[in-house]
């Protein structure tokens, strides 16, 4: 698995939450260094297309599955325990 390219980490003052914008292709991962354990993830594709997108997580690693032919911008909102 390859790691996604980080575009921006949004500054959040909410404990247990991280917001990042990434460029990635199908199956790439993001390792969350701010949280000790991930409990939920919201994922949103920033492109105006109908490609299916979902995220799975284990420990501190999020894997994004994106049915797109090219690298796309994606936003993740990650919840967990610090």
Q: Which of 46, 62, 39, 66 is CA-nearest to residue 54?
A: 66
Question: For residue 67, which phi and psi values (nearest 5 degrees)?
Answer: -80, 65
* Residue 47: per-residue pLDDT: 74
* Residue 66: per-residue pLDDT: 85
Output the CATH code of domain 5-81: 2.60.40.3940
Q: Round to whole Å and give the CA distance between 73 and 82.
A: 26
Per-residue pLDDT tens over the stretch 13-26: 889 999 999 988 88
Kindly list the domain boundaries of the chain, sorted by start residue. Answer: 5-81
> Residue 79 burial by CB count (10 A; 0-12/13-18/19+): exposed, middle or buried?
middle
Question: For residue 42, which phi and psi values (nearest 5 degrees)?
Answer: -110, 135
* Residue 1: per-residue pLDDT: 64
- Whether the per-residue pLDDT at 62 is higher than 80: the answer is yes
Mean pLDDT across the chain: 88
- Whether the per-residue pLDDT at 48 is higher than 80: the answer is no
């Amino acid at each position: 698995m390859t790691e996604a390219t980080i575009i921006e980490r949004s500054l959040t003052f909410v404990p247990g939450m991280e917001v990042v914008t990434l460029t990635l292709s199908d199956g790439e991962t993001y390792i969350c260094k701010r949280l000790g354990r991930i409990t939920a993830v919201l994922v949103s594709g920033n492109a105006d297309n109908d490609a299916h997108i979902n995220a799975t997580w284990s420990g501190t690693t999020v894997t994004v599955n994106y049915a797109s032919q090219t690298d796309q911008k994606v936003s993740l909102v990650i919840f967990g325990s610090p």
